[in-house]
């Protein structure tokens, strides 16, 4: 069994810390084993878009584009 993943995790943790501390990103936690795990958290993104004044219809368009891209 390879220990590559075990060595990579601390590096990933440092990268996450840099994004949070220096760039103001919100860390949502390790989602690796979460049911329904996705690269895009639709409700989090929808809330973010709403806060920036994006119209609901436009948000729906964005999610439709993302969905279509995943099907390829």
**pLDDT above 60 for 1:** no
Cβ-contact 57, 67 below 8 angstroms: no
Whether residues 29 and 42 share a domain: the answer is: no
Residues 6+ apart with CB under 8 A from 31: 37
Distance CA 50, CA 66 (A): 18
Distance CA 6, CA 10 (A): 8
Whether residues 7 and 30 share a domain: the answer is: yes
The model's confidence at residue 4, banded by pLDDT at 50, 70 and 90, is low
* Domain of residue 62, residue span: 38-72
For the stretch 11-70, pLDDT in tens is: 999 999 999 999 999 898 888 888 888 778 888 888 999 999 999 999 899 888 888 886
Whether residues 56 and 72 share a domain: the answer is: yes
Distance CA 63, CA 36 (A): 16
Rounded to whole angstroms, what are the CA distances from 26 to 3, 29, 68, 69? Answer: 29, 9, 27, 25
**pLDDT greater at residue 2 or residue 20:** 20
């Amino acid at each position: 069994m390879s220990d590559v993943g075990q060595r990579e995790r601390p590096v990933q943790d440092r990268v996450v810390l840099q994004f949070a501390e220096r760039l103001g990103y919100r860390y949502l936690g390790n989602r690796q084993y979460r049911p329904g795990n996705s690269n895009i958290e639709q409700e989090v993104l929808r809330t973010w878009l709403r806060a920036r004044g994006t119209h609901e219809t436009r948000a729906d368009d964005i999610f439709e584009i993302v969905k279509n891209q995943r099907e390829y």
